Structure formats: structure tokens, C-alpha cells
Structure 1
Amino acid sequence: MQNDQENKTGLARLGYIWNDWISTFIILALLLMTLLIGTGEMIHGQMLRMGERLYGDQTTGMQYSFLRAEPEKPSCDRHPNIDAQVQEQMKANAADEFASMFGAASEADVRASLLAAQQQCEEKYQFYDKAMKHLEAHPSIRTYRKVETTFFGIFKLGSENQTVILLVMVLFASITASLRYHHIGLRAPKTKIDFRVYSALMVAGNALLSYSVVSQYHSVLNSGVEVAGKTAVLYWLWIALFVSLTIISIFQFIFIPKTAQPKGNFGLALLSVPLYAFMSLVTGIVFTFFMDYPMGQGIYLGILVEFSGIFLNLALFIWAGMLLTQTRVMDLFLNILRPWNLAPETLTWLILIAAAIPTAYTGASGIFVIAAGAIIYKEVWNSGARRQYALAVSAMSGSLGVVIRPCLLVILISMLDSRHVTSTELFDHGIYVFWLTAFIFLGVSLILAEEKFRVNSPKIAVPGMLRACVPVIPYVIIGFAVVMFYKLA
């Protein structure tokens, strides 16, 4: 590994530093910020309650909320000369040219007003003295206050700039995906023709998006409405994103990877083009050449950013799916089914039903495929299924869960079209779609099954299943504890 790094050229080493260090660190920091935003309100509320329990004093009436900022010494005179102030005010009233019109205050009224002001000043001093005495008795309160207010400041900054965080995350992730040819497509580019077609359509798609967001930005500038600082930052991030991707695609079109195979097929090359490129090309051509409205793509991108909170949560769920691939959780849960020696079709159906639960809570089937697809493929194939069947099962292992509560994808769809449908209606119908699809899949699988239905005797399977449940118990307890913590916090 070390020799590989030493043999890399300067450009390759720069790409390695960007992909494996800079981009990774920034995305990790933004994901942690997103996690902080999602849980920050609850955590900050707990910190305030803890501060009250630690530093509040019911006997003196001192609360932690009074001490979140350093008490300021009052600037008023604590022991004023009331008689002198009364005489001074009376002289000022006598010299007032409007006094005869509205009536001058009597000496008793002036004195009462000054005494009330003195009383308010005395109360301020008493509170200040009591607060300073409380701070001296609890010196650690300043340290705790610093931690609590700093956390609140970070949480507030992140909450007010979720759209910026999302765009910065998309910027770095998109650049990294483009440099590594990791955009989602039907097949990976392998031949020189694949890479040429891939890069050419990426150049066209990114160029159309760049033109769209630049046109939208100029339209806003020429509208006569002042552009707020945050709005300008969002426009510049969009421009930087698509211009950078266009430049990268041009570079990739000129310089084909040395590992590319010779020759190739144009039809297969089209399958290598990312879905993102096709979508940007179609929408860009329609808006720019047919509707003469080039800023249309940029406007729809702005609408998507309005739901930045949901997309940031999806980023967290994808991260969770990637982390789940590094654990043995799926393997441990499948150990519970293995003693039954189920037929491939029955095993597949149970896996699809069970996989719907994590899919519903993460919001996207792709996350579960990332986390468990390889294990499911191996398990179904080992049970005697065909390779194509095992691949199909692993690909659709998380699909059923996208229609049941509380899938974020359904909530997002209902928010985009809230005039015609609500999330409750979608979830109510989704449960019927879920069971209908599940039983149709089971029926077709059993009809086309190459093997007879099989299942081990309960006398053999139950003891093995119970033994397999033991390693799963800690994960169940941890999951239950986390859910209850967030519900009760």
C-alpha cells in the first residue's frame, strides 16, 4: 500500500488526498453537524434542565436561566437625593411651555415617580448582588454555562443554515463521485467508448445545469429586488457545483483512464451513462430549447432545497446503512432463520417482510441494500436459489418498506403535493400495497419454484433458533433503549 502511494504521480496523489482525506473529513463533519441539528433541541433542553437541577436554588429564587449570561451591574443611582431630584424636576416642569396646556405634575406625583424608580433600581441591585453571591458559591457554573451556550450557538447556527449545509455536502459528494466515476447508472463504464460516451453526456448535462443556475442568478439580480446574503451564497454554491462538474467531465472526456478496455459497444456505452446525466439532459433540453425557459431547472432545484431537513436526514440514514455494513447485525438475525432450513422462496419472503421495517425507518430502500444486500444474496443463494433469483432478492430487499409508516420518502412526496394528498392517506393505502405485493411475490415464487417446499422439524429448529437469539438480545436492548430515550427525553 505504501509503495502504491509512493509510485503515484503528483495529480494522482492530489486526487487521493482529495477523495480519501479532504472530502471524507468535510462530509463527516457535515454529517455530525446534521446529527447535532436533529438531536440538538432535545439535548439542549436536557442541558437546561440539568443546569437547573445543579445550580438552581428554590430558597433564594435563583434559577439557572437567570445566570446563562454574566449579570451586569445596574447603572442607576442606588441612593439618590430624592428631595433634590424633586426640586429639579419641578423647575423643569415650570419652564415647560406646554405645561399650561397639558397640566403640570404636582410635587407629590413627581416624588412618587422618583421613589418608584428608586425601588426598581434597588431591586436590580438586590438581584445583581444575589446573582454574584450565587456565582461565587458555585464557581463551576461559568464552565457549565460556557459549554451549554456554545452548544446552543452551534445548534442554532446549524438550524438556520440547513440549506447551506446540504448544498456544501452535495458539492463535495458530487465532485468526489464524479472524480471516481461513482454516479448511479445501469452498468459501470469499462471500455474506451463507455468512458467517452459517459463523459460526453455528463459534459452536456452539467453544462445545461450550469447555464440554468447562472441564468436564474442573473434574473434575480436584474429583478430589482435586493438579494439577501444567504440567498446569494446558495446561488454561488449551485454555480460552483455545476461548473466544477462540467470542468471535471471535460477533463475526463479528454483523458480516458488507462485501465479502460479497447473497443466497446455504443449501445452498452449508453447504459453506462449515469441516470443523473439523462435527467439533466432531458430537463435541460425541454426547458431551454422547447420552453425557452433556461432557469427552469434552477427553480426546481431551489424547491428541492426547501426540504433540506428531510434530505439531510436521508444523508444520515445512508451513513447509518454504510456503518451497518461493518457490523454482524444482519448475520446474527439471519442465524435465527437458518435452523429451519427453509426453501429459498419461503426464506426470501420472510427476509423481504423483515427488511421492510428498517427500510420504513430509514426512508430509502437503497440504504438497506447497501447495509444487507450482500449478506441476503449469500444467504438466499446458499439455500439453493438460482443466482439471478438471489440477485433480484438482494436488489429488492428494502423495496417493500417504502410504502409503510414512517418512511420519509412518503412524507416527502406528500409535502411536494400537499394539495392533493396527505401522508396519512398514503400510509393508509400503503399497508394494503405492502401486503398485496408481498403475497403476490410469495405466490409467484412458489409457483415457479424448482424445489419442493421444505422446513425442518420444530424439534430440530427451535433449539437452534433459541440459541441464535441469545447474541441478538444485546442489540435489541440497545435499540429499545435508544428509542425509549428519544421518546421520553
Structure 2
Amino acid sequence: MYESVSRSRTLSDWLSSLPIALVLLLVIVLESSSMLHSRLLAIGSELWPGYHELRVPAQAPACQPDLNIDHELAELLANQQADIDDELSLFDEEPADPVVLRASLERSLAECQRRHAEYASRESQVTDGLQYYATFEEGVAAIGDLGLNATRYILMTLLLVAAASANLLRDHIALRGIRTVRDLQVSSLAQMAGNALLLASALAYRSMQDASGIVPDFQQYWIQWGWIIGFTVLTLISLLQCLRRPSGLVPGGSMGHALLCIPLYSWMALISGVFFILIGHLSAMTIYLGKMLDLSGLFINVGLYVWIGMLLKQTRMASLVFDLFRPWRLPPEMLAFLAIMISALPTAYTGASGIYVIAVGAVIYQELRRAGAQRQLALATTAMSGSMGVILNPCLLIVIIAALNKEVTTRELYGWGLWLFLLSASLFLVVSMVSRRASLVVSPVANAWPETVNTLKKLVPYALVITVMVLWYRWGLNTALDEFSAPVILPAVMLAVVILDQWLRRRERPEQEGHIVKDTELAVRHATGEASTHIGALLMLMALSICLGGVFDRGGAVSMLPEDLSSVWLTMALLVVILMLIGMIMDPYGAVILVTITLTDFAFNNGIDPLHFWMVTLIAFELGYLSPPVALNHLLTRQVVGDDEVDRGAVSGSFWQRYERFALPLLVMAVTLLLTAFVPLLFYA
């Protein structure tokens, strides 16, 4: 159900939420200024015809519009005669025809008068209102230009500040939560070692630049120092975590369990750091982080999408959607299928599967359990809730693929993604129905429909606010909601929804003390604080995934692949295995960059169609995120549901009943992957 936001105002609250809120709001302001500038230009053209020219100050023509032609002609003839009579003249010059000179002067005078007339007409149109408007428009344009030049700084700040927040709260993504003293010691030491390797890499890169004699430009100079300062802070935080021991930890602990508590990004940092030290190129880690900054706009959007998800979590929208189906008393398996279908679109709009699981996973799990679903089915559905929507419009992952690979377009990927979504959803329905343990009896329409209508009425205000906000951007700023504008528009939409939600809650419970402004501020602060740690965990995982990709790149993994397998079927089989393994150990964004660098040429040269290849890649990644040993979506499910709840899974019954949370997603996505990979080959191989 709806999570209370009655957190007290503490210094730690502000420290974890305010910096990230300022950075994210700055991004929205900078991006919105570009939209506003385009709209201002269009409005200016409507108010003042020729505004694009009028907005630029003009200089008066330097020529004389009242020139006396007779006087000027006489002077020209006199000067000409003087030159001819000059004894120092080097050439014999024929005197110019006075008629020709007069005609030339008349043409020049006419042209001069025309230019002055145009200038006077132009100046008559430049009113004070136009000048004020142009000054405002130029100011908005300057803000947009600042945004274009500052994205690398913004991403680096977002990454390092959010990572520090995740470090302080010990909220990085790991295979197991910290429970014992040994867990804390091993996890903190590993984080400190990983952060220290990143710091050493930044210092090595700085030394390499100094030794080369190349003077970095202003931006590169401050980015280098930003990495050095940021990784120094992260290393010191990890050292502090080693020295401080929170209460409530169980004494002792096994080393095997403790190793599972090391954050995934730390493992990647240790592997990458050791590898690059062995090949004598420690600065390569910083070089690969620079590749992340090259795509700064896309990774900033990840932070915005996480914030969107956390804002959504602070409202009752998800619970109200489930309330639509509660009166029908659907079998748990049918409700699980509906949860998967309903989750697809918000998954696409929140950018990636993990973000949606973090935002709404707890609600999905609780609602399924309330409907009578077995714990294993509820966990499986929660983990899969964010999987199928990643191939739908306007998912950010597909935007990144299209940006890095000119062979495919977002339109093509989204088009085929819809069909693959319908395929995987159908398979989920079939498998869940075959394995169901409840009857398919539902409540009569006469009993269920009135309650559903009442819930629909509660959802109407939310729908109206969302519609108004989207239409305001569409008509006010001439910006439609699509894969490119969604990261900027949706935070504003969700902030409006949070305000509405708090207002509705205050109307429903007027007897409670409080104020809508205070409640809204608490909700936004709570959402931003949660977003801060999740952004830090996700972005650090993505950054180190790129570094780990560099290990595969520099380690010559691609060279191990044969250049020509002479069989498109064998090529596809090999790609399926490799892509699934990559999906098991890397986050989607870093994995896309790695695949672009290493596997695309191999696939295309062996006859795999680019569009087909990338659809297989997306499905293979989703299968990987649901597959051990890492199973990122299951880790995030554990994070939002709780270790104790997950560990109380079925310990008796058939194999399927005991391991359904893994078996159901794996079966559905594995069959989807096999069909996606090999059926199209029948038509073009």
C-alpha cells in the first residue's frame, strides 16, 4: 500500500536529497530552456514578421543618401585630370566618359537610398516591446547553450555525489545484504580498494597528460580534477565505513557470505584495476569513464528516470490501479499477467527494468500476496515486471542503441519491439496458466463492476493532471512526449501528480494535522533521497561496466572469435550464448556499449541483419538480468521486498514450486529468445 512519507527533517535528509535535487532540477531547467527558446522564436515570428532578422541589431549604411551627383561628378573628373597630368604617373590612362561616370553614380545613389529606406523601415518595426522580447529570448538561448556545454560536468557531479550518498548509506547493489560484522568489514575494504584503484587511475591519467606535454583544454582540465577529487572522497568514505560499526550487526560471519556482500561495482573496479595494472595501463579506467561522459546526456537521463520512479512511488497511483482488479477476485496467475501487462508502459517510460522494479516492485509484490499468490509467483512477477517494457517506446535503452549504431533506427526497434512484447507476454500467460494452483473463477460482474467504477473515479484526477501537463508541453512549448523529451517532461508531470496526491489525501483526512505544502515537500524530499542512493548505485554500476567492457576489449576477447563461421545459424547460436553471459554480469547501458564495440562487426560480417541482431541482444540481456549468478532484477526485487521476505520462499513441494521465482522468468524469456533468434533466419538466411 501507500508508503507514508512522515520523515522528520534531519540534516542527513537534506544532505542526501538537496544536492541531487539541485542537479536534476538544473538539468530540467537547461533542457526546458531549449524547448522554450524554440517556442519563443515561433511566437516572435507570429508577433513581428521577420523577427529572426529584427532581433539582431543592424548598423546604418555608411553611404550618403543625399549625395550631390553633379558635385561628385565634377570632383571625379577633376581628380582624374590631375592624375593624368601628374608627371609621376606610370601609365597612360584614357579619361573616363562623363556619361558613364554619371550613370554609375546614379546607380550607386539609388542603391544607397534603397538600403537606407530598408534600414529606416526595419528600425520603425523595432519597438521597445520587440527589444525587451529579444533580450529575454536571447537570455533563454544562453541558458540552453550553457546546458549543451555543461552536460559532462553535470553527469560527473551526478555520478560522484550520488555515489557518495550510496556509500554513506551502504546501499550499493550486491548479491547479499550486510548482516554480520564480517560482512561489513569485507564489503567496506573491497569498496575502499575499488575506489582507491579508481583514484590511482585518475592520478595516472593526469600524470600521463603532464608527461605528454599536451595542455588539456579548460573542460578536460576540470574533469580530470573532478575525478581525482571525487574518487578521493569516495575512498575516504569507504575508509570511514571500515572504522565505524553500526549497531545491530551479528558478531562473526563466514567469509563466503561476506564476499557476496561486496557491491558489484567494487568487483568490477577490482577486476578492471588489476587487469590494467598488469598490462601497465592503469589510466585506461579513466579513459573508459571518459567514454561515458561522451554520452553524458543519455546517462543523465538515467538519473532523471530514477527520480521519476521514486516520485511515482510516493503516490497512490500504482495501488489504485491494482484496486481496479481487486473486486474481481482474479486468480493470482491472472493478476500476475495483468501486472506484467500494466507494468510494460511505465517501464518503457522509466528507462530500464531495474528502475521500475525499484519504484513499484514492493507494491506489485504486496498486491499479489494479498490476492493469494504464492510467495514464489509474487517474487517472479515482481522481478519480471520491468523486463518486457524495455523494448517499447520510448525506452532509453533503445535510444542509446540507435545513437551508437547508425544501421538501425528507434522507429524500427520500437516497431519490432512491440511484437516481441506481445510474444513474451503471451508466453507468460500460457506458462502461468498451465502451472496455476487456483481455479479460474472470478467475481460476478454485478458485484465487481461498481467497486471498479469507484476506483476509476479516484484515478480520474490523476489522468486529468497528466493530460494537462502533457498538453501544456505539446501546445505551450511545441514539444511532444516522445523518447527524446520524456526525461524532461515526466519529472514535471510527476511533481504535479505528487502535489495532487497530497491534496487529495488532505481532503480525505481533514482531521489530521499537517499542511499540503509541508507534506508535498516531505514526499519530494523522501523521493529524492531514495533516488540519490539508487542513482549512485546504478550509475557506478554502469560506469564500471564500461571499464569492465574495456577489459574484454583490451584483453582481445573479440580476436578469439572466428572471422567467418560460414553458417549464419552457428553464428546466431554463438551470439545468443555470448549476449546472455554479458547480460548476466553487466548492466544494460554498459553492455550495449560493449556489444557495439566488440560484437556488431562480427555479427554483421557473418550475415546477421542489424535489426535482428539488436532485437536478439535486448531479449538476451533481459534473460541475463533474470539469470544467476547476478540476476540484477532479482537483486533489486530483494532490495525492495526485503531479505527476510525473499528467504521465506517455498522450501517444500515440487521443483517448480520451490524455484518458481527463477524458473518462470527463465522459461518465458528463454523461449522468447530462442524464437527471436532463430525463426527470422528462416526468412533471410
TM-score by length of 1: 0.82
Please state if 1:350 is matched with 2:338.
yes
1:476 maps to amino acid? A
User: Which digits, 9 at most, give the CA deviation of each residue in 1:168-222, with x for residues without a partner?
Assistant: 2212212222222222223332432222111111111112222223323333444
Secondary structure in 2 matching 1:334: helix
Secondary structure in 2 matching 1:454: coil
Please state if 1:319 is matched with 2:276.
no
Distance 1:88 1:369 in 2: 91
Percentage of identical aligned residues = 35
How far off is 1:279 after superposition? 1.3
Give 1:47's match in structure 2, choosing from 40, 43, 52: 40
Matched residue, 2:23: 30
Give the stretch that moved more between structures: 224-233 or 147-156: 224-233
Give the stretch that moved more between structures: 20-29 or 186-195: 20-29
Please state if 1:463 is matched with 2:456.
no
Please state if 1:257 is matched with 2:241.
no
Sort the Cα spacing of 1:104 and 1:279 in 2 relative to 1 into closer, same or farther, 3 A.
farther
2:359 maps to amino acid? A
Alignment of 1:51-66 (within 5 A): 51-54=44-47, 56=48, 63-66=50-53
- Paired residues of 1:86 and 1:107 also in contact (CA < 8 A): no
Distance 1:92 1:474 in 2: 90
- Paired residues of 1:364 and 1:402 also in contact (CA < 8 A): yes
Sort the Cα spacing of 1:89 and 1:180 in 2 relative to 1 into closer, same or farther, 3 A.
farther
1:404 maps to amino acid? L
Give the stretch that moved more between structures: 436-445 or 94-103: 94-103
Distance 1:254 1:170 in 2: 25
Matched residue, 1:11: none
Please state if 1:476 is matched with 2:469.
no
Sort the Cα spacing of 1:220 and 1:427 in 2 relative to 1 into closer, same or farther, 3 A.
farther
Matched residue, 1:443: 430
Give 1:406's match in structure 2, choosing from 394, 397, 400: 394
Please state if 1:341 is matched with 2:334.
no
Distance 1:315 1:132 in 2: 48
How far off is 1:429 after superposition? 5.3
Please state if 1:361 is matched with 2:354.
no
How far off is 1:274 after superposition? 1.4
Distance 1:286 1:210 in 2: 16
- Paired residues of 1:86 and 1:111 also in contact (CA < 8 A): no
Alignment of 1:65-144 (within 5 A): 65-70=52-57, 72=59, 79=66, 83=71, 86=76, 90=80, 100=91, 122=113, 125-127=116-118, 129-135=120-126, 138-144=127-133
- Paired residues of 1:89 and 1:110 also in contact (CA < 8 A): no
Give 2:272's match in structure 1, choosing from 263, 277, 283: 283
How far off is 1:247 after superposition? 2.1
Matched residue, 1:180: 169
Matched residue, 1:328: 316
1:365 maps to amino acid? S
Sort the Cα spacing of 1:126 and 1:441 in 2 relative to 1 into closer, same or farther, 3 A.
same
Distance 2:16 2:273 in 1: 28
Give 2:297's match in structure 1, choosing from 309, 313, 336: 309
Matched residue, 1:196: 185
- Paired residues of 1:90 and 1:107 also in contact (CA < 8 A): no
Distance 2:79 2:343 in 1: 81
Distance 1:93 1:468 in 2: 99
Please state if 1:234 is matched with 2:227.
no
User: Which digits, 9 at most, give the CA deviation of each residue in 1:70-102, with x for residues without a partner?
Assistant: 555566656566645746975897789898499
How far off is 1:69 after superposition? 4.4
Give the stretch that moved more between structures: 304-313 or 347-356: 304-313
Aligned residues, how many?
465
How far off is 1:124 after superposition? 5.5
How far off is 1:382 after superposition? 0.8
User: Which digits, 9 at most, give the CA deviation of each residue in 1:331-358, with x for residues without a partner?
Assistant: 2222221221111111011111110111
Give the stretch that moved more between structures: 82-91 or 428-437: 82-91
Sort the Cα spacing of 1:92 and 1:352 in 2 relative to 1 into closer, same or farther, 3 A.
farther
- Paired residues of 1:324 and 1:371 also in contact (CA < 8 A): yes
Give 1:215's match in structure 2, choosing from 204, 207, 221: 204
Sort the Cα spacing of 1:445 and 1:48 in 2 relative to 1 into closer, same or farther, 3 A.
same
- Paired residues of 2:320 and 2:455 also in contact (CA < 8 A): yes
How far off is 1:469 after superposition? 2.2
1:399 maps to amino acid? S
RMSD of the TM alignment (CA)?
Answer: 3.5
Distance 1:169 1:112 in 2: 69
Sort the Cα spacing of 1:394 and 1:75 in 2 relative to 1 into closer, same or farther, 3 A.
same
Matched residue, 1:380: 368
2:17 maps to amino acid? T
Sort the Cα spacing of 1:89 and 1:435 in 2 relative to 1 into closer, same or farther, 3 A.
farther
How far off is 1:157 after superposition? 0.9
Matched residue, 2:624: none
- Paired residues of 1:221 and 1:227 also in contact (CA < 8 A): no
- Paired residues of 1:207 and 1:242 also in contact (CA < 8 A): yes
Structure 1: 5+ residue runs without aligned partners? 6-15
Give the stretch that moved more between structures: 221-230 or 265-274: 221-230
Distance 2:120 2:156 in 1: 49
Distance 2:308 2:240 in 1: 34
1:267 maps to amino acid? G
How far off is 1:375 after superposition? 2.0
Sort the Cα spacing of 1:450 and 1:223 in 2 relative to 1 into closer, same or farther, 3 A.
same
Sort the Cα spacing of 1:364 and 1:92 in 2 relative to 1 into closer, same or farther, 3 A.
farther
How far off is 1:452 after superposition? 2.2
How far off is 1:426 after superposition? 4.9
Secondary structure in 1 matching 2:172: coil
How far off is 1:423 after superposition? 5.1
Distance 1:88 1:379 in 2: 102
1:173 maps to amino acid? A
Structure 2: 5+ residue runs without aligned partners? 1-7, 479-685
TM-score by length of 2: 0.60
- Paired residues of 2:33 and 2:143 also in contact (CA < 8 A): no
1:363 maps to amino acid? G
Matched residue, 1:10: none
Give the stretch that moved more between structures: 206-215 or 80-89: 80-89
Sort the Cα spacing of 1:44 and 1:419 in 2 relative to 1 into closer, same or farther, 3 A.
closer
Question: Which structure's relative contact order is higher, taking Cα pairs within 8 Å and 6+ residues apart?
Answer: 2
